[in-house]
Amino acid sequence: MAVSAINLQPYAMLSDDECDARIVAAKEKLGERLVILGHHYQREEVFKHSDFVGDSLKLSRMAAQSNAEYIVFCGVHFMAEVADILTSPQQVSILPDLAAGCSMADMANLAKVELAWKELSEVLDDVEASVTPVTYINSAADLKAFCGRHGGIVCTSTNARNVLEWSFTQGEKILFFPDQHLGRNTAYTMGIPLEEMVVWDFDLPMGGLTAEEIKNAKMILWKGFCSVHQMFKPEQIDNFKARYPETKIISHPESSFEVCQKSDYVGSTEYIINTIAAAEAGTRWLVGTELNLVNRLHEQFKDEGKNVHFMSPTVCMCSTMFRINPQHLAWTLENLVEGNVVNQIKVEKTEAEQAILALERMFEVSP
């Protein structure tokens, strides 16, 4: 029988070590009823308690395959939403701190995407037949539902190319949101020239574009970006290479076009980890992705003689991901032990049904 939820406030006074012990004890009590999924950007104090870790695609598959009653997502809001969409109604998806959003995901909302769709339909003969909407998984569930009902699809940084290839079999153009960089970087590697890509400024009528520009474009890129990855600059690569010319550059595709063009490797967080793991001892790496992951790579591979460096001279952390701390995790789990579900993420039924169409199309084309 559930009692009233345990108050969060006293947990703020607990040290990380105290939380640690309590998290371990709560996990033991919950056993197989619980699974903790952790994204690679999580701080170490939280990451170490994860049952499974991965990038967005891997974690969404983990969620879909899990039979656990409680899925506690140590990540950001859209990830917990995807977990809810892909699991059965009896399973509960939980985000330990509801303030852990994704600032990039917030750059697109349904009202603005609906408006863009309407404006595109004023310029194009048959918007449904000619444009495939593609949403990066870093987006709210209602945008995934939008893609579901308009013949569109979801992508992650792992499968973006497969998704774009599929999308171009559906229509001649793609409306890609919210991250312009992932869209541009992926399309460019597929041979689409920059002249055939336009940026849709969601604050301007008709995206700030002329009818001609829209008609000529293959990729219509939403003007969104990640505040973390936008901090990486091509000059940082040049400066580092001037000191260590042998360095291999590896970046996440949310980084700018210029950074990705100067990179030897571009891919998801999982890809970055696997690439450095497979590299030879003595290699040096400059990595353009979030700081917690780069610090972990540095620690993990230093004994193998691999040198892993962070691309930016300033701190670039995903501050929203960082909100998931041991205190919130301990509070969440101890509530579950007492039979209280706190911070459940629930996607409305119709929205989930439409979103799943776009997610299933993604899984079908994913590597």
> How far is residue 6's CA from residue 14's CA, in Å, rounded to a whole number?
15
Min CB(283)–ligand SF4 separation in Å? 25
Token reading at 169: 């079999």
Residues near ligand 13P (CB under 6 A) are: 40, 55-56, 138, 156-157, 226, 252, 254, 268-269
Kindly give, in sequence order, each residue whose CB lies less than 8 Å from that of residue 159, ignoring residues fewer than 6 positions away. 57, 362, 365, 366, 367
Of residues 104 and 124, the one with the C-beta less far from ligand SF4: 104
Return the range that interacts with ligand SF4 (CB under 6 A); candidates 46-54, 157-165, 315-323, 349-357: 315-323
Residue 156 binds which of ligand 13P, ligand SF4, none (CB < 5-8 A, kind-dependent): ligand 13P
Token reading at 345: 């993420």
- Residue 197 host element (H or E): strand 197-200
Q: At 222, is the secondary structure helix, strand, or coil?
A: strand
- How many helices and strands in the chain, by DSSP H and E? 16, 13
Residue 96 in contact with residue 332, Cβ under 8 Å? yes
> How far is residue 194's CA from residue 219's CA, in Å, rounded to a whole number?
9
Would you count residue 97 as binding ligand SF4 (CB under 6 A)? Answer: no
Of residues 104 and 273, the one with the C-beta less far from ligand SF4: 104
**Residue 344: DSSP 8-state:** B
Residue 157 binds which of ligand 13P, ligand SF4, none (CB < 5-8 A, kind-dependent): ligand 13P
Taking alpha carbons only, the member of 104, 154, 79, 117 closest to residue 347 is 79
Kindly give, in sequence order, each residue whose CB lies less than 8 Å from that of residue 109, ignoring residues fewer than 6 positions away. 140, 142, 143
Taking alpha carbons only, the member of 161, 271, 262 closest to residue 219 is 161
Would you count residue 362 as binding ligand SF4 (CB under 6 A)? Answer: no
Cα–Cα distances (Å) from 254 to 107, 158, 180, 189, 289, in that order, read: 14, 12, 8, 14, 9
Min CB(127)–ligand 13P separation in Å? 29
Of residues 157 and 236, the one with the C-beta less far from ligand SF4: 157
Size of residue set near ligand SF4 by CB under 6 A: 13
Residue 103 binds which of ligand 13P, ligand SF4, none (CB < 5-8 A, kind-dependent): ligand SF4
Of residues 84 and 254, the one with the C-beta less far from ligand SF4: 254
- Look at the chain and count its residues: 367
Residue 321 binds which of ligand SF4, ligand 13P, none (CB < 5-8 A, kind-dependent): ligand SF4
Min CB(138)–ligand 13P separation in Å? 5
Min CB(272)–ligand 13P separation in Å? 8
Taking alpha carbons only, the member of 163, 209, 165 closest to residue 364 is 163
- Residue 200 host element (H or E): strand 197-200
Pick from 318, 324, 333, 357 the residue near ligand SF4 by CB under 6 A.
318
Pick from 76, 249, 266, 294 the residue near ligand SF4 by CB under 6 A.
76
- Residues 141-200 touching ligand SF4, rule: CB under 6 A, are none
> How far is residue 330's CA from residue 352's CA, in Å, rounded to a whole number?
29
Would you count residue 290 as binding ligand SF4 (CB under 6 A)? Answer: yes
Min CB(233)–ligand SF4 separation in Å? 16
Would you count residue 352 as binding ligand SF4 (CB under 6 A)? Answer: no
Min CB(139)–ligand SF4 separation in Å? 10
Of residues 233 and 306, the one with the C-beta less far from ligand SF4: 233
Would you count residue 82 as binding ligand SF4 (CB under 6 A)? Answer: no
**Contact set with ligand SF4 (CB under 6 A):** 76, 102-104, 138, 226-228, 254, 290, 318, 320-321
